[in-house]
């Protein structure tokens, strides 16, 4: 087995040294690499280019990064004397350039393993010529052509990092908040690395390793599109060798994303911002909010206490939750809070507040949404926002026993007007009312409030 691998490996290197031609899918007017062989002095660089590929992406790789490295822009950097092969993968085809690095200061006698035993290729070549029409052509020593062995549980074959590439990549989003990735087994591979990123250029990509040919990535951000690529590895001559990654595929993650905006923050921001897109009416960026005369809680504190519990409960019920803040010491304007929800394409936004009416006898909860004639972004979601306002209030008072004040329709709320998603404000209760202030500050009542809001969300999404 070990010897077989060696033979195949040497053969491929020789093939490459012999011509540096595209290894797969050669076509008329087909892609070309700018140079098929170059010699560089140690420390020098040269940029290789792929021609006739239009806008297709190229994945660059080197057989031996100790000799020369290559950037994803094709810039080859000579590291030390010796020889290596640079590979450009385009749409599953590999194009190669042999790189010889010389070191003027050192005795330049380093050899590649390929040079030592050139005779080893001959048997394979002979075999190809010998193939008679009656016989099924079978060349198990040739890497990358062993697909006939798919039925075998442990595929025989040698991984050729220059040529082989994972194929058959599929992505499914049937499970919420997750992506299931599958690919075809690559003969000779001992394991795989799945790389995934929300950017097409695979910026900040994360990776997972597996010996299987499928993996579930979870939890992922709902409504976010992820790009996925897979590469294979095997141990060869005591070293781990990697194939180039296959072309990326992408899919959007399914699920329901709820944005919770805990109203206010530690310090008010008295700067001004437009009350809605295109509006000349300016309003304070973040007002200071009210406070409990008896509980001694500031509204921004109560709002966050309830919001964090609400997050936990909604997550338990299978929603994904986005928080505009999880700390008091932030500076996020009301407009910015709406933009956070817009950008994440959340399904709904609930802004948690408590009210501070001047009359201390006033008690109860109410919800706020835009009007039917809203002149801003909010207009297109009027119906949905109204329904959300209705359901949340209905189940909130049902769970807490609080007085139902009203659904207030207004176009004066910056955080609602800038919202491109269904959005409401919940005023949980009156902090100037002694009973309600102390109730809202208690764990027991907080639990009831959280249950009520969550039930309202369930009802909105028809999960009740």
Which residue, 334 or 439, has its beta carbon nearer to Zn ion? 334
Bridge partners of residue 78, in order along the sequence: 68
Residue whose Cβ sits closest to Zn ion:
353
CB of 289 to Zn ion, least distance (A): 4
CB of 354 to Zn ion, least distance (A): 6
Which residue, 243 or 385, has its beta carbon nearer to Zn ion? 385
3-state secondary structure of 207: strand
Which residue, 16 or 297, has its beta carbon nearer to Zn ion? 297
Which residue, 283 or 353, has its beta carbon nearer to Zn ion? 353
Which residue, 263 or 422, has its beta carbon nearer to Zn ion? 263
Point out which residues bind Zn ion (CB under 5 A): 263, 289, 353
> How many Cα atoms within 13 Å fall on the side-chain side of residue 152?
11
Sort strands 45-47 and 68-70 into parallel, antiparallel or unpaired: unpaired
CB of 374 to Zn ion, least distance (A): 20
CB of 389 to Zn ion, least distance (A): 16
Tokens of 170: 């599929």
CB of 422 to Zn ion, least distance (A): 20
Which residue, 289 or 456, has its beta carbon nearer to Zn ion? 289
Q: Are 217 and 249 in contact (CB under 8 A)?
A: no
Q: Which residue has the tokens 């304070």?
A: 284
CB of 446 to Zn ion, least distance (A): 17
Which residue, 60 or 366, has its beta carbon nearer to Zn ion? 366
CB of 300 to Zn ion, least distance (A): 8
The DSSP secondary structure of 96-165, one letter per residue, reads: EEEEEEE-TTS------HHHH-GGGGHHHHHHHHH--TTSPP--TTSTT--GGGTTSSS------TTT--
Question: Vertex 155, ends 153 and 160: CA angle to 5°?
Answer: 155
Bridge partners of residue 180, in order along the sequence: 172, 216
Tokens of 395: 């189940």
> How many Cα atoms within 13 Å fall on the side-chain side of residue 89?
20
């Amino acid at each position: 087995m070990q010897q077989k691998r060696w033979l195949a490996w040497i053969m491929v290197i020789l093939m490459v040294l012999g011509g540096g031609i595209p290894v797969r899918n050669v076509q008329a007017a087909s892609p070309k690499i700018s140079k098929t062989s170059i010699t560089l002095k140690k420390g020098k660089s040269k940029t290789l280019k792929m021609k006739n590929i239009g806008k297709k992406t190229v994945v660059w790789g080197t057989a031996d990064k100790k000799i020369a490295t290559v950037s994803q822009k094709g810039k080859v950097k000579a590291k030390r004397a010796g020889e290596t092969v640079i590979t450009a993968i385009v749409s599953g085809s590999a194009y190669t350039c042999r790189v010889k690095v010389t070191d003027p200061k050192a005795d330049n006698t380093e050899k590649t393993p390929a040079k030592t035993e050139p005779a080893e290729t001959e048997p394979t070549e002979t075999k190809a010529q010998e193939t008679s029409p009656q016989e099924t052509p079978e060349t198990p020593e040739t890497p990358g052509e062993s697909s006939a062995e798919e039925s075998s549980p442990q595929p025989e074959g040698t991984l050729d990092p220059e040529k082989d590439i994972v194929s058959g990549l599929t992505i499914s989003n049937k499970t919420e908040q997750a992506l299931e990735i599958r690919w075809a087994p690559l003969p000779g591979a001992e394991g795989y690395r799945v790389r995934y990123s929300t950017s097409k250029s695979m910026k900040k990509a994360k990776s997972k390793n597996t010996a299987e040919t499928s993996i579930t990535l979870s939890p992922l951000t709902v409504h976010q599109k992820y790009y996925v690529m897979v590469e294979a590895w095997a141990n060869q001559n005591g070293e781990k060798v990697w194939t180039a990654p296959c072309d990326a595929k992408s899919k959007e993650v399914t699920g329901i994303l709820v944005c919770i905006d805990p109203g206010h923050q530690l310090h008010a921001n008295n700067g001004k911002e437009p009350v809605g897109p295109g509006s000349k009416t300016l309003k304070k960026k973040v007002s200071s909010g009210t406070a409990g005369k008896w509980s001694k809680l500031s509204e921004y504190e109560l709002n966050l206490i309830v919001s964090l519990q609400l997050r936990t409960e909604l997550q338990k019920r299978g929603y994904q939750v986005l928080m505009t803040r999880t700390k008091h010491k932030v500076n996020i304007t009301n407009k910015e809070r709406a933009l956070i929800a817009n950008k994440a394409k959340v399904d709904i936004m609930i802004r948690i507040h408590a009210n501070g009416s001047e009359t201390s006898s006033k008690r109860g909860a109410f919800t706020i949404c835009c009007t039917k004639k809203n002149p801003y972004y909010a207009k297109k979601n009027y119906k949905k926002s109204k329904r959300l306002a209705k359901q949340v209030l209905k189940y909130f008072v049902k769970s807490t026993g609080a007085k139902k004040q009203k659904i207030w329709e207004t176009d004066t709320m910056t955080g609602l007007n800038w919202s491109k998603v269904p959005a409401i404000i919940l005023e949980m209760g009156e902090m100037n009312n002694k009973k309600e202030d102390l109730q809202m500050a208690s764990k027991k009542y907080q639990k009831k409030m959280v249950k009520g809001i969550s039930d309202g969300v369930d009802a909105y999404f028809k999960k009740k």
